[in-house]
Chain A
Amino acid sequence: MFKILEKRVFSPIIKELVVDAPKVAKSCKAGQFIILRIQEEGERIPLTIADYDREKGTITIVFQEVGKSTTQLGQMEVGDYLKDFVGPLGEPSHIEKFDGTVVVVGGGVGIAPVHPIARDLKEAGNHVIGIIGSRSGDLLFWEDKMRAACSELLVTTDDGSYVRKGFVTDVMKEIIEAKGKENIPMVLAIGPQPMMRAVCNLTKDYGIKTIVSLNATMVDGTGMCGCCRVSIAGSTKFVCVDGPEFDGHDVDWLELGRRGGIFRDKEQQAMEHHECKCGSGCGGAK
């Protein structure tokens, strides 16, 4: 059993939990993820390691409530226990000192997984420009942590309700134009699939290598089931063991999107079936 030690609510649908998981904290690296199960009847859901504290033995996760399991997770409180919590899974991010400026992009809840990678890239001696964006200002979080992790941080919102109006790709285009594409050896983008795809389309035109972190549907997360398979440059890879990071220009986005929708009607059914047991009369998961 894994105890929830801290909880922060960034918006009605985006939340942070700090979980007591010393085994994971001891060896995890930026870019890896965990799989958790809330309770005996629960499914195994993957979430990226957004931060960790080796001394305290804790792992930080940030998630957006999109369905049954994440909604239920959002209802858990400090002192509650998760049934299972396994990790670190997946390959760590590739960290090296690049020749030039590295741009990292976090969209929506994707800001969280970008954070430890940006920090490590900067620690490795890189000049790291961070771009974070969300639909509106009230959904934005960790601006302070990201500012500390990056050399420079730029913020944007789709609706212009905070800092500036525009997509992360708009900001990125400006940076590429200003710095020159030859001075940007690598871009890392994590966020919703349409955002990562848009970033890849942009960088493809400039010929800039772009790494993305794929959130394929998973079961075991150890390479045993093949549920998470994706086509990368025409060959099948398992996201949980070969990834989650891949060269975004090699990803078959259409297939990834389709495979992500396999259980859509079932997920809706699970949501409707879910009744909150918090006892507060909150009405459950709506």
Chain B
Amino acid sequence: MTDAKKPKKEIKPVKNPMPAQDPLVRAKNFNEVATGYTMETVIDEAKRCLQCKKEPCRQGCPVEVDIPAFIGLVAEGNFAGAISKIKEKNALPAVCGRVCPQEAQCEKYCTLGKKHDSVGIGRIERFCADWELSTGVKVPEVAPPTGKRVAIVGSGPGGLTCAADLAKLGHQVTMFEALHVAGGVLMYGIPEFRLPKAVVQAEVDNLRKIGVQIEVNSVVGKFTTVDALMEEEGFDAVYIGTGAGLPYFMNIPGENACGVYSANEFLTRTNLMKAYQFPDYDTPIKLGKKVAVLGGGNVAMDSARTALRLGAEESWIVYRRSHEELPARKEEAEHAEEEGVKFALLTSPTEIIQNEDGWVTGMKCLKYELGEPDDSGRRRPVPIEGSEFLMDIDTVVVAIGQGPNPLVPRTTKGLELTKRGNIVADEKAATSKPGVYAGGDVVTGAATVILAMGAGRTAANSIHEYLSSK
């Protein structure tokens, strides 16, 4: 059939809405907010796709998933075909379908989006992945053993992907993780209500099934070093994916007061240590009635929404630019707003006030306005003179960003680093040290799951090439 003869398709202008828990109900529980498309809706949504020859969506995808192809399969009801199409490029679709910033990637370029809503690509992807999880994931075939050993340091999305790809190629893979569970930020940072831990655990369990040895409670740089792994323990190559786990603070007075948390501490206590189930779980968290979260990214949204769920009466996002510049996924900012998170925009703190016992009682802030665009292309926030005011809050969560954890970079000989301490790696994920590859947030600085996943995959290919030539 040629294009000319194709009957003109009737286009539904609106994306099928994502079923979700009622905002006021979900603001009080930790269950997943978005409950997922049904089989009818996913097919309906897939049928909105125009199957564009130029595949603009695919070019917007950092790992170039063949989006029109998998959506076409979904439209036919062929979910098994769709998921294997996705997995050709994306090793963690159940995760990415939930947390990718689609509005800035594939969906941003979708042809349909020019006039109407774009196709709900992320939602369709998530459905396929969940469908596969519920029907039981096939254990992939593993190539015959090559006799080569690879160490993966850090079990975030980059490490998980690199480990899976190398294991399938027949290499013997050992993954070292500092914490007591594998999964990286997906486990300790992103909350249960956005990414259920069972979804991540399923991915980790799949790794075990293909023979990856996972050693938790293993801080590389402490019990051993990258050099020792290669020289003494017999590893032929190493992938470093230790992420951006070092929390930044504002460096304003009062930041060490009682009641000030880094977002990492706040979220780790809640997610990883399950403080929301205290005292059935031993780890406590303590917050007052009015919580201020500093920052405007996903980490800030997650913290503000977590604060509500832990019982805060007021939860504020305090961000120095305007709504438009919020770096968070659009859906997260919307969900936060629906749940009752308040926004103090064009505002930034100058001092945290504490009482005589050292507890937070308020925060001095300045109002900002937007000036000329800065290096990032966003308009630079400029403080308004004399605009100082006191915010009445009693808990502060600092979510202004994270840097690379220095434990591995500092203890690895001959590893080139940037000024900020990130590991330098080329487009093939190779570092300055032979046999050592790196990817994800430790290379790029805090970024996204899909970019870390892509880097893990690139590194796996490079490592395979390196080992095959050795």
CB of A225 within 8 A of CB of B265, answer yes
Q: Does B269 contact A (CB under 8 A)?
A: yes
Q: In the complex, what's the smallest C-beta–C-beta distance from A212 to chain B, in angstroms?
A: 18
B218 touches A23 (CB 8 A): yes
A266 touches B222 (CB 8 A): no
Interface string of B196-220 (1 = CB under 8 A from A): 0000000000000000000011110
**Of B14-22, B81-89, B167-175, B277-285, the one touching chain A:** B277-285
Given A43-B273, A223-B246 in contact, is the A89-B219 Cβ separation under 8 Å? yes
Q: How far is the CB of A79 from chain B (nearest CB, A)?
A: 21
Q: When the two chains form their complex, are residues A267 and B180 in contact, meaning their CB atoms are under 8 A apart?
A: no
Whether the Cβ atoms of B217 and A226 lie closer than 8 Å is: no
| Interface assignment of B73: CB less than 8 Å from any CB of chain A | no
Q: Does A170 contact B (CB under 8 A)?
A: no
User: Roughly how many angstroms separate A41 CA and B283 CA in the complex, as a whole number?
Assistant: 8
Q: Which residues of A contact B406 (CB under 8 A)?
A: 223, 241
User: Contact between B269 and A84 (Cβ–Cβ < 8 Å)?
Assistant: no
Assuming the contacts A229-B256, A258-B258, asked whether A223 and B407 have C-beta atoms less than 8 A apart, the reply is yes
A84 touches B219 (CB 8 A): no
CB distance from A73 to the nearest CB of B (A): 12
What is the minimal beta-carbon distance from B15 to any residue of chain A, in angstroms? 37
Cβ-defined contact, B284 with A27, below 8 A: no
> A41-B280, A223-B245 are contacts. A259–B222 as well, Cβ < 8 Å?
no
A265 closest partner in B (C-beta): B286
Query: Interface digits, A237-266 against B, CB 8 Å rule (1 contact, 0 not)?
Result: 000010000000000001100110111011
- A37 in contact (CB, < 8 A): yes
Check if B178 is an interface residue, CB within 8 A of chain A: yes
Query: Count of A residues near B, CB < 8 Å?
Result: 44
Q: Given the interface contacts A41-B280, A258-B358, does A88 sit within 8 Å of B223 by beta carbon?
A: yes
Chain A positions 7-57 with a Cβ under 8 Å from a chain B Cβ: 23-24, 26-27, 37, 41-44
**Do B223 and A270 have beta carbons less than 8 Å apart?**
no
Interface residue? B224 (CB, 8 A): yes
The answer to whether residues A69 and B223 also contact, given A258-B258, A259-B256 and a CB cut-off of 8 A, is no
Q: Which residues of A contact B357 (CB under 8 A)?
A: 258
**A255 contacts B268, CB within 8 Å?**
no
Look across to chain B and name the residue whose beta carbon is closest to the beta carbon of A88: B222
Contact at B256–A231, with CB atoms within 8 Å? Answer: yes
Evaluate contact between A266 and B286: CB separation under 8 angstroms.
Answer: yes
State the Cβ distance, A83 to closest chain B Cβ, in Å. Answer: 7
Minimum distance in angstroms from A3 CB to a CB of chain B: 14
A261 surroundings in chain B (CB, below 8 A): 258
Chain B residue, CB-CB nearest to A69:
B282
Q: Give the residues from 172 to 230 in chain A that come closer than 8 angstroms, CB to CB, to chain B.
A: 219-220, 222-227, 229-230
Q: Which A-chain residue is minimally distant from B266 (CB atoms)?
A: A225
Asked whether A115 is an interface residue with its Cβ less than 8 Å from the other chain, the reply is no
Q: B249, B262, B284: which contacts A270 (Cβ < 8 A)? A: B284
Q: Do residues B247 and A226 form an inter-chain contact, with CB atoms below 8 A?
A: yes
Interface: A236 (CB within 8 A):
yes
Asked if B247 and A85 sit within 8 Å, CB to CB, the answer is: no
Q: Contacting A220 at CB < 8 Å: which of B178, B274, B286? A: B178
B223 touches A27 (CB 8 A): yes
Q: Which residues of B contact A254 (CB under 8 A)?
A: 358
Q: Which of B259, B358, B406 has the most CB of A within 10 A?
A: B358
Q: A37-B180, A43-B273, A44-B273 are in contact. Are A222 and B284 (CB under 8 A)?
A: no
Residues of A within 8 A of B246 (CB): 223-224
Distance A48 CA – B274 CA, assembled complex (angstroms)? 25
In the complex, B348 has a CB within 8 A of chain A: no
Distance, CA A44 to CA B217, complexed state (A): 11
- The closest CB in chain A to the CB of B259 belongs to A262
Q: Is A273 on the interface with B (CB-CB < 8 A)?
A: yes
Q: Taking the complex as formed, is A75 at the interface, i.e. its CB lies under 8 A from any CB of chain B?
A: no
Select one of B217, B245, B280 contacting A224, CB under 8 A: B245
Q: CA of A43 to CA of B274 in the docked complex: distance in angstroms? A: 10
B264 within 8 A of A: yes
A68 at the binding interface (Cβ < 8 Å): yes
Q: Which residues of A contact B273 (CB under 8 A)?
A: 43-44, 219
Q: Which residues of A contact B284 (CB under 8 A)?
A: 263, 266-267, 269-270
CB<8 Å pairs between A and B, sample of 29: A24-B223, A42-B282, A43-B273, A44-B283, A83-B180, A84-B180, A84-B216, A86-B217, A87-B222, A89-B222, A219-B273, A223-B405, A223-B407, A224-B178, A225-B265, A226-B247, A226-B249, A226-B261, A226-B264, A231-B256, A236-B249, A255-B358, A259-B256, A263-B286, A265-B286, A266-B286, A267-B284, A269-B278, A273-B279
5 additional contacts (CB under 8 A) given A24-B223, A224-B188: A84-B180, A236-B249, A241-B406, A259-B258, A270-B282
